[in-house]
Amino acid sequence: MSTILLTGATGAVSSAVIQALQGAGHRLIGLVRDPAKAAHLGIELRTGDLSYLRTIETAFEGVDTAWVLTPPGPNAPIQSSNAVWAARLGGVKHVVRMSAIGAAHDAPNLNSRLHALSDSELVGSGMTYTIVQPHFFMQNLMMAAQSIAEQGTIYFALGDAKIPMIDVRDIASTVAAILANPAPHAGKTYTLTGPAAVTMAQVAAAIGEALGKPVTYVPVPVAAAVDSFTKMGLDDYNQVALRDYLTSYSRGWKSDVTSSVKDITGTQARGIGEFARVYFK
Ligand SMILES: NC(=O)c1ccc[n+]([C@@H]2O[C@H](COP(=O)([O-])OP(=O)(O)OC[C@H]3O[C@@H](n4cnc5c(N)ncnc54)[C@H](OP(=O)(O)O)[C@@H]3O)[C@@H](O)[C@H]2O)c1
């Protein structure tokens, strides 16, 4: 059994990873900014802020395997750099990093280019690593929950794009399997997708079936979508990130399905129907 430290412990992905690892006999340590916010996780906690190296320089001591997840934003590269450096200082044996679909220096969107910087830094660090690059989270669809409930409509700026979206629970079980036994995954980068590429019309049909009432997809122009989020206070970085994601997906970017979840966990990733039946019942 090993000692595993997880960053982003209070967030969507890492909290699900913690849940997937609990009870398997590992010593789990959450690295958090505010321990009070993380008390419900029921694991050992260390305090630090990824943006400030001095607050995390000793946080990785005694850790075998580290899970490095940074929140999306312009500071992600420095936060990831700090975490990887602190992991080195602490003598960590293997770093597993949360990246994103299509991370590359020439990717057509900002978030993927920033993730590529951090992926490259980890690969070049000389540390043993594994990188996961998940696709669009199915849980992102919950931002349409209100219009679905009130109008039976999903407004999204994805045209008729086919997206192999993935349930966060499948990202978590895959990451947990890697953290529990990292050696076979050393030096690997995995693209994680759901079992099928689906259009938003298919998403609407699946949610409608789960709810037992018709749900319609209404495509909106990318500029209109970004405009409405801007009016709700979306900052400049996220306006650009959102615009570029919606544009690239609408043009068919990254629609291939991979078998990585099944290959690593032995279990098929959940499809959109299964997601909808749990989240929209
Ligand atoms: N959404 C998608 O479709 C998608 C797809 C592929 C990849 N991704 C990637 O997934 C990652 C986000 O994962 P998520 O959805 O689980 O994130 P999340 O729910 O927003 O959680 C972010 C976590 O980071 C912590 N955090 C924020 N600032 C911090 C700091 N300065 N120092 C230490 N911890 C800090 C937060 O803790 P506090 O409690 O302190 O705030 C929280 O635990 C991003 O890298 C994103 O690019 C997303």
Predicted local distance difference test score (pLDDT) of residue 281: 83
pTM score, whole prediction: 0.98
Q: Is the pLDDT of residue 116 over 90?
A: yes
Q: Is the pLDDT of residue 61 over 90?
A: yes
Q: At what angle do helices 200-211 and 272-279 cross, to 10 degrees?
A: 40
For the chain, the average pLDDT equals 97
Q: How far is the CA of 11 from the centre of ligand 1 (A)?
A: 6
158 neighbors 143 (Cβ within 8 angstroms): no
Residues with CB under 6 A from ligand 1: 7-14, 32-34, 37, 49-51, 69-72, 79, 98, 100-101, 111, 134, 136-137, 140
Model confidence pLDDT, tens digit, residues 173-227: 999 999 999 999 999 999 999 999 999 999 999 999 999 999 999 999 999 999 9
Measured from the Cβ of residue 123, the count of other Cβ atoms closer than 10 Å reads 14
Residue 207's identity, in one-letter code, is I
Model confidence pLDDT, tens digit, residues 246-262: 999 999 999 999 999 99
Give all strands (DSSP E) within the chain, no chain letters: 3-7, 27-32, 44-47, 65-68, 94-98, 128-134, 153-156, 188-192, 216-219
List Cα–Cα distances, 88 to 3, 58, 65, 93, in angstroms: 15, 10, 11, 8
Atom of ligand 1 nearest to the CA of 33: 40
Give the burial string for 137-154 (b: 16+ CB within 10 Å, else e): bbbebeebeeebeeeeeb
Nearest CA to ligand 1 atom 9: 100
Rounded CA-CA distance 66/179 in Å is: 8
Atom of ligand 1 nearest to the CA of 50: 32
